[in-house]
Structure 1
Amino acid sequence: MEAVDQIQLETTISAPLDRVWTAFAHERGQWWPELDFWPVIGSLLREEWEVDGVQYAAVGAVKDVISGRRLVFAWSEPDWDGATTVRWEFEAAGTGTRVLLTETGFGSLAHGQELAEDHRETWPYHLSDLKEHAERQLPAG
């Protein structure tokens, strides 16, 4: 099997770009409550979750932000021998928004190939949650 250094996923969300950015950057606690960061360069990032009674955590920092267009962070777990970089990109696509997620750096990790396979399976879950949240109609006020 060929070594993989990056994975890339894409989805289109049936909501305007500003709505999707707001859902991603400011309403994340409603669709991905385990992940915490501010959408500003230098913000610390932390994801905590539990599987079968075992606690896990990934930590990192926001590296780049262009509000409404892009957010990049680096993160790792305690047992990784390095970090990966996750790049979220948002662009208008007709009346909707194209979201491109790219994670790189697996090639430099001792168990990078297994990690890439795991992340290739779990990222669609988060993209789906973002899509569902951003597309949800808010009740009329």
Structure 2
Amino acid sequence: MIVDESLLIQAPPERVWRALTDALDRAEWWGYIDLDVTVGGKVEERWSDDSGHPMLTEGVVTEVEEGRMFRFTWSDAEQPVATTVEITLAPAGTGTVVTVLETGWEHVPGGAALAADHRAGWRVHLTNLRRYLQ
């Protein structure tokens, strides 16, 4: 099982990359994530579940191809096994296709249900990114 979400954003790849990787820029559309896009950098997303209980999803950046792709581990506090998230940018005319792949669900207990939740979450984040940049 793979979460695979893509969205065309009418902005050049350099601008999309900055919106993803620059903390001040990213705070405008995804203000509750701490993301250091360097190999070994931390990823922490603090959010609340449907009942208002505070949650933490965290990981570590494992690979960066400047301006094109970064990859990180990703797991909720109660999740015993991390998934891997890869975010890639590809030029498309005057815009950029942003793709999020999240893999490793077969190793996560209840992986199918969690993958569906994450798919919905990535759609929200991509839509927020597009709204911010367009």
The reply to whether TM is greater than 0.5 is yes
**Runs of 4+ with >3 A deviation:** none
* Structure-1 residue corresponding to 2:108: 109
- State the Cα deviation string for residues 80-138 of structure 1 (Å, max 9, x = none): 12001110000111110011110001011111111011112221100001111122xxx
Q: Name the amino acid aligned to 1:8.
A: D
User: Aligned to 2:14, which of 9, 18, 25?
Assistant: 18
Sequence identity percentage: 35
* Structure-2 residue corresponding to 1:29: 27
* Structure-1 residue corresponding to 2:98: 99
**RMSD value, Cα:** 1.0
The aligned runs of 1:81-96 (5 Å cut-off) are 81-96=80-95
Indicate yes or no: 2:47 matched with 1:49.
yes
CA distance in 2, matches of 1:74, 1:55: 20
Q: Name the amino acid aligned to 2:14.
A: D
CA distance in 1, matches of 2:113, 2:37: 29
The aligned runs of 1:124-135 (5 Å cut-off) are 124-135=123-134
CA distance in 1, matches of 2:108, 2:83: 9
1:37 Cα deviation after fit? 1.4
Note the residue ranges of structure 1 that are not aligned, 5 or more in a row: 136-141
> What is the TM-score normalised by the length of structure 1?
0.89
* Structure-2 residue corresponding to 1:38: 36
- The 3-state SS of whatever aligns with 1:48 is strand
CA distance in 2, matches of 1:134, 1:61: 26
CA distance in 2, matches of 1:50, 1:107: 25
Q: Name the amino acid aligned to 1:46.
A: E
Q: Would you say how many aligned residue pairs link Structure 1 and Structure 2?
A: 131
CA distance in 2, matches of 1:134, 1:66: 22
> What is the TM-score normalised by the length of structure 2?
0.93
